[in-house]
């Protein structure tokens, strides 16, 4: 992933005063789970995955453990959208977190992520 997305994850974690290493995967899983349940969110992540922030030069690896059902959904998305890969959806999720948390949008999602931050 582009190094800028790693910076976003660190900034989001810093906002909630939690360790990025533990919080970042939870943020990504949160957005992917929302997208699985909501077609509008899935479309948002696909769109954001093509933003300049998400399409920078890949300089960092990201390993993420996710539930099997979510992995199957990510593979289905790739087939249904002619090429929106799981990696695209993850990059879109990180950009969505940036918009919602750092650009101060989506108050409800901010409250939900605050609860997740307290749990990790």
Question: Helix, strand, or coil here: 3?
Answer: helix
Segment 39-67, tens digit of pLDDT: 888 888 888 988 888 887 766 666 666 67
Please state the rounded mean pLDDT for residues 5-30. 89
Residue 78 predicted with pLDDT over 80: no
Distance CA 74, CA 6 (A): 21
Give residue 17's pLDDT band: very low, low, confident or very high (50, 70, 90). Answer: very high
Distance CA 49, CA 103 (A): 17
Q: What is the DSSP string of 21-55?
A: HHHHHHHHHHHHHHHHH-HHHHHHHHHHTTSTTTT
Record the pTM: 0.81
Contact 94, 59 (CB under 8 A): no
Distance CA 21, CA 18 (A): 9
Per-residue CA distances from 18 to 25, 104, 108 (Å)? 12, 18, 19
């Amino acid at each position: 992933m582009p190094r800028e997305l790693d910076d976003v994850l660190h900034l989001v974690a810093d906002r909630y005063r939690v360790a990025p290493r533990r919080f970042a995967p939870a943020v990504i899983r949160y957005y992917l789970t929302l997208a699985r349940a909501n077609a509008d969110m899935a479309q948002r992540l696909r769109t954001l995955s093509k933003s300049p922030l998400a399409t920078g030069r890949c300089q960092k690896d990201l390993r993420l453990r996710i539930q099997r059902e979510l992995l199957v959904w990510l593979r289905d998305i790739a087939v249904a959208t002619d090429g929106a890969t799981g990696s695209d959806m993850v990059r879109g999720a990180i950009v969505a977190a940036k918009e919602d948390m750092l650009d101060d949008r989506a108050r409800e999602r901010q409250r939900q992520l605050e609860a997740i931050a307290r749990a990790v």
